[in-house]
Amino acid sequence: MDPVLADRLQFSFTIMFHYLFPIGTMGMAPFVAWYTWKAAANLDTESARAARFWTKIFSINFAAGVVTGIPMEFQFGTNWAVFSARSGSIVGQPLAMEGIFAFFLESIFLGVLLYGSRGIPSRFGAWSAVFVCIGSWMSGYFIVVTNAWMQHPVGYQVGPGGRLELQNIWAVLASPFAGWQFAHVLVGALVAGGFVVAGIGAYYLLSNRETALGRRFVRDGTLVALAFSVLAVFPTGDRNSADVTRFQPVKLAAMEGLFETTKGAPLAIIGMPDVQAGKLIDPIDVPRILSFLAYGNFDANVDGLRAYPHEIWPPVELTYYAYHVMVGLGTIFLGVTAVAALLLALGRLYASRAVLWLLMLLMPLPYIANEMGWMVSEVGRQPWIVYGLIRTAAASSPTVADGETLFTLIGFTGMYFLLGVLFLYLVLREIGIGPSLDLPREDPALVR
């Protein structure tokens, strides 16, 4: 096997598994902060139970994220030594900031939440929950900034031997590619968080237990998932796509399966890309909409893949299908949460078993949508590891053999399987215990 392919397989597996957990922490953090703050402000025992329940679920996600995130740092040096040598002085800055500022902020105040009072949280406990939320979002921002620089390099200069040197850290941190990319990532995580909260609440209502908190979880999760499903489409999805159109037009062509430069380009709803023939098979499309979405003009020209040299095409099929799976799932989320919100307004949601089942069964799908979004971003960037500057094929470690990488990949697969089973066991155990058994039912004035 080509050593570069082995390196890419290992990195894609480990990072996609790892990313499942930051989705959870970024998406559930505001719920932890909201319930904790409400419990402290109103001396509300029920909110305190909700807060401690979601703090435990959050903590399990956080721990799994830490364990699976550590290998990512090492892989830069072991598997991608040329990339690290040429661009490490730049990508290392936001990665170090993530560890020093965001990770420690999040972990320290999470400790306060976990080892604080089992009763009504204090004001300090409430502020700790807010800082946990801020830390988790800051962590996401620094990681996205790193990726945004790889998507659209700024604030650098080329030094001796082709080494990329940091020239302006503020240009990197405020990259024009990073803003909307982070907003879209955060919105996607909040959609996932909303579905998890609503889904677990739906489970409690369907099981006829924890009904008071189950209603709160369904209501809060549904409204959050609906709001951020809308924001995933506009403005964050639209503006992030505009940045792709501006800085990576060949990725846009692959996302849409557009092979020929077209005036008034259609938006492909479905179809099967045939790279050899250079066309979509059996497409269903909406005329002229892609031109409008890309350039704000129904008659604008949109460059197709054949406008670019074939050697800089990304893997078309993978980019195209990942993008359409993401968009399709987002449409489902928007429809389901809109129906659920309507039933909530009519006072019929909690008795609608069909919709409660939908909310519960849909819980894993936002994770898949988030993974597909990152697949579009990373696969669509190929053949570049740093866009326009360093090719992926030239960035790996020349002294690492494919057999070594495959051996460690097998090891990661086994360890991550066990970790995944342990993660699911711990989360399902907490859901089975339920929030009502976590805190004593005492007078709020006493438990404070």
Residue by residue, pLDDT tens for the chain (448 residues) are 889 999 999 999 999 999 999 999 999 999 999 999 999 999 989 999 999 999 999 999 999 999 999 888 888 889 999 999 999 999 999 999 999 999 999 999 999 888 876 778 888 999 999 999 999 999 999 999 999 999 999 999 999 989 999 999 999 999 999 999 999 999 999 999 999 999 999 999 999 999 999 999 999 999 999 999 999 999 999 999 999 999 999 999 999 999 999 999 999 999 999 999 999 999 999 999 999 999 999 999 999 999 999 999 999 999 999 999 999 999 999 999 999 999 999 999 999 999 999 999 999 999 999 999 999 999 999 999 999 999 999 999 999 999 999 999 999 999 999 999 999 999 999 999 999 865 554 444 434 4
> Which residue type sits at 381?
R
Report the C-alpha gap between 25 and 165 in whole angstroms.
Answer: 33
**Residue 170 is part of which domain span?**
22-247+319-398+417-447
The β-bridge partners of 286 are 267
C-beta of residue 93 within 8 angstroms of C-beta of residue 166? yes
| Residue 184 domain-assigned (yes or no) | yes
Buried b vs exposed e over 327-356: b needs ≥16 C-beta within 10 Å?
A: bebbeebbebbebbbebbeeeebbebeebb
Residue where the block lists tokens 């790996």:
396
| Residue 276 domain-assigned (yes or no) | no
Report, in angstroms and rounded to the nearest whole number, the Rg of the chain calculated over CA atoms: 23
Q: What number of residues does the chain have?
A: 448
What pLDDT score does 443 carry?
Answer: 42
Report the C-alpha gap between 85 and 78 in whole angstroms.
Answer: 11
> Which residue type sits at 16?
M
Burial of 107 (0-12, 13-18, 19+ CB in 10 A): middle
Please write down the long-range contacts of 267-274, taking CB distance under 8 Å and 24 or more positions apart: 267/293, 268/324, 270/324, 273/316, 273/317, 273/320
Strands 156-158 and 262-263, bridge-based pairing: unpaired
pTM: 0.94
DSSP string computed for 104-126: HHHHHHHHHHHHS-SSS--HHHH
Q: How many domains does the chain have?
A: 1
The β-bridge partners of 273 are 280
φ, ψ dihedrals at 377, nearest 5°: -60, -45
Q: 277: which 2 tokens? A: 């023939």
C-beta of residue 80 within 8 angstroms of C-beta of residue 394? no
> Which residue type sits at 27?
G
237-289: per-residue pLDDT in tens? 999 999 999 999 999 999 999 999 999 999 999 999 999 999 999 999 999 99
Report the C-alpha gap between 42 and 195 in whole angstroms.
Answer: 26
What pLDDT score does 444 carry?
Answer: 43
What pLDDT score does 74 carry?
Answer: 86
| Residue 286 domain-assigned (yes or no) | no
3-state SS assignment for residue 271: strand
| Residue 438 domain-assigned (yes or no) | yes
What pLDDT score does 448 carry?
Answer: 41
| Residue 409 domain-assigned (yes or no) | no
> Which residue type sits at 320?
Y
C-beta of residue 96 within 8 angstroms of C-beta of residue 53? no
| Residue 2 domain-assigned (yes or no) | no
Report the C-alpha gap between 111 and 306 in whole angstroms.
Answer: 54
| Residue 125 domain-assigned (yes or no) | yes
Report the C-alpha gap between 37 and 167 in whole angstroms.
Answer: 42
What pLDDT score does 439 carry?
Answer: 54
287-314: per-residue pLDDT in tens? 999 999 999 999 999 999 999 999 999 9
C-beta of residue 94 within 8 angstroms of C-beta of residue 107? no
| Residue 209 domain-assigned (yes or no) | yes
Q: 290: which 2 tokens? A: 């892609």
Residue where the block lists tokens 């050593």:
3
Strands 156-158 and 164-166, bridge-based pairing: antiparallel
Evaluated on CA atoms 391, 397, 403, 404, the torsion sign reads: negative
C-beta of residue 140 within 8 angstroms of C-beta of residue 185? yes
